[in-house]
Amino acid sequence: MKEAIDKGNIPKHIAVIMDGNGRWAQKKGAMRIFGHRNAIAAVRDAIEGSAELGVEYISLYAFSTENWSRPKEEVDALMEILVQAITDEVPTMMKNNIRLDTIGDTESLPPSCREHLRMGKEETKANTGMTVVLALSYSGRWEISQAVRKIVRKVVMGEISEKEVNQEMIASCLNTAGMPDPELLIRTSGEVRISNFMLWQLAYTELYFTEVLWPDFRKKDLHEAILAFQKRERRFGKTGAQIRPSP
């Protein structure tokens, strides 16, 4: 399957909603946290598979602002898994020239998580290969609200006029400023919604939904998603005839 992928048409940025950990665990008669722990292998495969194909950014929806409403023991366990994953994976990221970045309200995370994230980002900041973006305590509406506040402050302070507010300015005030918008969104577990993820950035993203539960996601599933992406015609409002080369 990997050989069938057109290396000249690889999405620069892939976003992933990693869904199905709890259901995966329940199918095995285990607690939900068992699914979260076994999701690390899927994360590793998604990152490695993307890097091998030349993807520039992969954004992983790891923890939403809504996830704070889950049972405390599950949230605590998720934070522990996050810390351990960063500790374990940073050496591999260094070896493979991969940079770590984050989006979201990371100040709301426990101190140990913030510190490990800070160290991981600092250690990998000079790497020039693919960037792995962890969306933590993140929601699209929160991000847009933060951007609006930044712009309002600039207008109130007289730094800009309201006529200067445009799409480019809004994008520059988002957490993802400087990153290309995702070209492909993958969501696992059969759910077909975007769940408050990158609401601004996904305007022209190709959406791919798979029944595979996240802990079972492997490189072959990533390859399937990219092959599906490559079969689509991305018109951005134009007609098919406009974007196809003349015979």
Among 67, 96, 127, 196, which one carries the catalytic annotation?
Answer: 67
Under a CB-based contact definition with an 8 Å cutoff, are residues 146 and 116 in contact? no
Residue owning tokens 């591999």: 92
Among 6, 9, 19, 38, which one carries the catalytic annotation?
Answer: 19
100/132 Cα distance (integer angstroms)? 5
Helix axes 111-124, 72-95, angle to 10 degrees: 10
Q: What are the CA-CA distances from residue 128 to residues 12, 132, 136 (Å)?
A: 14, 12, 23
Pairing of strands 99-103, 57-64: unpaired
The secondary structure of 145-172 as a DSSP string is HHHHHHHHHHHHTTSS-GGG--HHHHHH
Mark whether 181 is an active-site residue.
no
Under a CB-based contact definition with an 8 Å cutoff, are residues 127 and 99 in contact? yes
Under a CB-based contact definition with an 8 Å cutoff, are residues 17 and 185 in contact? yes
Mark whether 67 is an active-site residue.
yes
Specify the amino acid at residue 196: N
- Name the nearest CA neighbour of 168 among 181, 183, 185, 184: 181
Instruction: Determine if residue 78 is left, alpha or beta; phi over 0 gives left, psi from -120 to 50 gives alpha, anything else beta.
Output: alpha
Q: Which residues are catalytic?
A: 19, 67
